[in-house]
Amino acid sequence: MEIGSRESRNNAMSQINVTPLVDVMLVLLIIFMVTAPMMQQGVQVNLPKTQAKSLSADQETVVVSMDRSGRIFINAVEATHADLTAKLTEIFATKTKKEVFLKADQDVPYGEVVKTMAEIKGAGIERLGMMTEPAGKK
């Protein structure tokens, strides 16, 4: 009997304890669920509501935003009407796909939005898209 008990003491444990792994994964899941809504970038504007379908967004998308007070932002970096065309020309100097999305607050006067659109087109942008909210979303 002494020989058998020695063998059982020297054998390695053949089962893996996954409880610590599950605990770590649950903590990571909770952390990601809490921080994911905070990862949204850009300038907060009140977009007009429409019933158009959404477009897919690329990683290299350039968004020009206009807030309620008429300030202009290029991907969350503030710009002025005077240097908007120059900055966009510089951004798109090496890019082949010249596409910009305009995100204007619904309370911005129409004339200001059209002026901004003209400045964007003046930078040589081939495609200009307007961003809106779905009609049912508040």
Residue 129's DSSP bridge partners are: 101
110: domain range? 49-134
Q: Between the ranges 13-22, 34-43, 52-61, where is the mean pLDDT highest?
A: 13-22
Q: Same structural domain for residues 22 and 56?
A: no
Tens-digit pLDDT profile for residues 90-106: 888 888 888 899 988 88
What are the φ/ψ torsions at residue 94 (nearest 5 degrees)? -110, 0
Is residue 55 domain-resident? yes
pTM of the model: 0.56
Is residue 109 domain-resident? yes
Rg, the chain, Cα only = 27
Higher per-residue pLDDT: 29 or 5: 29
pLDDT of residue 54 exceeding 70 = no
Kind of pairing between the strands at 72-74 and 62-66: antiparallel
Tens-digit pLDDT profile for residues 4-23: 555 556 666 678 888 889 99
C-alpha triplet 74, 78, 84: angle, nearest 5°? 60
Please give the Cα distance from 118 to 110 (Å, whole number).
Answer: 12
**Residue 25 Cα to chain centre, angstroms:** 25
Question: Which residue type sits at 52?
Answer: A
Q: Same structural domain for residues 100 and 74?
A: yes
Into how many domains does the chain fold? 2
Tokens 């020297």 sit on residue: 10
Residues 6 or more apart from 129 whose CB is under 8 A from it?
Answer: 55, 99, 100, 101, 102
Q: Same structural domain for residues 90 and 128?
A: yes
Q: Same structural domain for residues 72 and 125?
A: yes
